[in-house]
Structure 1
């Protein structure tokens, strides 16, 4: 096993890309604390703030796809790609990186390409069954591909493509101010409270926010209810005002940094159906109402949610069918049916893929223990 690895994890901007990278970084530090880790991505506040809270170093580069309606715009974008490649080369050499892992998002493109130019070990991780544009290109460049689904478009299993599942981050254990806030919320929840976690992902989801507040407004019995609502930045004030006007015990915020701990306590989760979310819910065995994002590439979130629904692991509501009434009916069905929630939780656990982060980390440090996960949705 190789010690003192210098690993760059490239990509991010959204939680769906960033959190798998954080999970791999946590696994690397557990296996070999001498590992040096650097995240390279954008200067988006969500990305920089999240990595700071997890204690990982970060650098940003220019990262824009080649696009534009005319030749001049495309030439300008191509020029920016050239600049990002130079930045990537400088970062890799300066950090003395010997492994570059791309986790998606266009900022990963320059780093993985630069890694190949400099003869460093390179890999990508694809979270979805339908890869995004960046990973479609990088699948031809990176030496190794890690996939989360048995049927990942354009990436069949072979000697350089490994089925590992989606890495899931460990809970935060750093005594930062925001963690104390989250803990105090959890400590206010009674043992017999029914805790609903509502989240539209790191960016929030307007349709879920609207339907859920409509459902709450129609609820008749809320004395044993506690709601934790991740609203997204744009809706935070509006939804906080909505709850303030009522008497339901709650915590509403744009984002919760220690989501794993909150998920552990939740009795029911209402969320989108991104690959990261699906993986976390399966590992934790959480009953869920999933509302797939209708504009996801190749509608992959609907495929994720439909697979779970077919196994009896969740209730799926299409975004076009989502209303306060439909959501209230689904919540009521699960809140008052302990057996159904238990059956859903067990179905979730049978689909769990808990070892993704460890399998990727083992490959990076050369532990040679890599094997595929068996229970991967397809």
Structure 2
């Protein structure tokens, strides 16, 4: 009997979808030596380069977001789904998966649907408090739905939904070596991490730099700033102009480790970020991305704010002055910060990756 289990993890493109998939892959490998993993998604550089860094096999399919609108758009969307469905079935026949897990993103739709057609066990993992369109559609076909929030909109009462939390990837030693901040920072200083997610956020970058101009004694902080590829040069120049020594990069692959170094975060409200903050008990100002599908980041941020575990500032309201006032009010109140840390850790579910991995490994004999 062949004890090897072949697993496809479908979806990605952005860190919010890709990193939970990587976390589950890591958990699968930690629980079994007889697992073979293939990621199927897009050919987006971020996705392909990240998976190469983590040494996971990857195949891309032709996939685009599902669009409504007029008949021409609907026909175009249907034709793309048909092409990606055929590509997915070819991959299935070649790789012969025992299980297919969708982690969201439009590229996961055809892969999970193809698995359903071929009667291969499936599951989807929803990271957000408001599910994306792809997972809303796939919830009809998947055998089980792993949710990250207890009150996931539209899924809380679904009998197939299982609340496990959002998987968080592990940092490896190659990432530690890539980190220039480790040898440059004073561990006795308050460390502030600023990030707009894997793609950066100009509004956060601009507001934070404006806030720094209004602050006194910025030398009492260590600052780690992930800018996104488009703003890196501009932000570096601004730090130089302000004569502030900060560690600035377009993207850090070792974000979990940087979060371990940080005392406070200013960030977007993607589900992966929310989960990492909870596990680490890291207080934050959350600025939801206003153009996220179905405004799901606002739902994520409100879920934490409602518990007193974070503070939310809407992107439209974000200015240097408001950011400075909010930040000063929080770091000046150690009791409130300690309370936020306590509430975040209470919300944490650090074993989500292992729970999903265990389900997959126990499912090899499931069919249909």
Aligning the two structures, in what range does the TM-score lie when normalised by the shorter sequence? Answer: over 0.9
Determine the structure 2 residue equivalent to 1:180. Answer: 177
Candidates 198, 208, 212, aligned match of 2:208: 212
- State the number of aligned residues: 363
3-state SS, counterpart of residue 195 of structure 1: strand
- Aligned: 1:244 with 2:235: no
8 Å Cα contact 1:11/1:103 also seen in 2: yes
Question: Deviation digits for residues 77-119 of structure 1, max 9, x if unmatched?
Answer: 3222111111101111211211000001111011101111111
Question: Deviation digits for residues 150-170 of structure 1, max 9, x if unmatched?
Answer: 222332456532111111111
Normalization by structure 1: what TM-score?
Answer: 0.91
Runs (5+) with no aligned partner, structure 1: 369-378
Deviation at 1:11, TM superposition (A): 0.3
Residues 119 and 68 of structure 1, relative CA distance in 2, 3 Å threshold: closer
What RMSD in Å do the two structures reach over aligned CA positions? 1.9
Question: Deviation digits for residues 278-314 of structure 1, max 9, x if unmatched?
Answer: 1110100001111122333443322322232232222
Residues 84 and 303 of structure 1, relative CA distance in 2, 3 Å threshold: closer
Deviation at 1:206, TM superposition (A): 1.6
Residues 340 and 137 of structure 1, relative CA distance in 2, 3 Å threshold: same
User: Structure 1 CA distance, aligned partners of 2:65 and 2:316?
Assistant: 30
User: Structure 2 CA distance, aligned partners of 1:262 and 1:328?
Assistant: 22
Determine the structure 1 residue equivalent to 2:9. Answer: 9
User: Structure 1 CA distance, aligned partners of 2:115 and 2:230?
Assistant: 37
Determine the structure 2 residue equivalent to 1:271. Answer: 267
Candidates 352, 356, 361, aligned match of 2:357: 361
Determine the structure 1 residue equivalent to 2:306. Answer: 310
8 Å Cα contact 1:65/1:81 also seen in 2: no
Describe how 1:155-304 pairs up with structure 2 within 5 A: 155-157=155-157, 160-173=160-173, 175=174, 179-182=176-179, 184-304=180-300
3-state SS, counterpart of residue 192 of structure 2: strand
User: Structure 1 CA distance, aligned partners of 2:344 and 2:156?
Assistant: 25
- Aligned: 1:326 with 2:329: no
Deviation at 1:367, TM superposition (A): 7.9
Determine the structure 2 residue equivalent to 1:53. Answer: 53
Question: Deviation digits for residues 324-368 of structure 1, max 9, x if unmatched?
Answer: 011112222233333332222112111111111111000000189
- Aligned: 1:106 with 2:97: no
Describe how 1:86-165 pairs up with structure 2 within 5 A: 86-157=86-157, 160-165=160-165
Normalization by structure 2: what TM-score?
Answer: 0.93
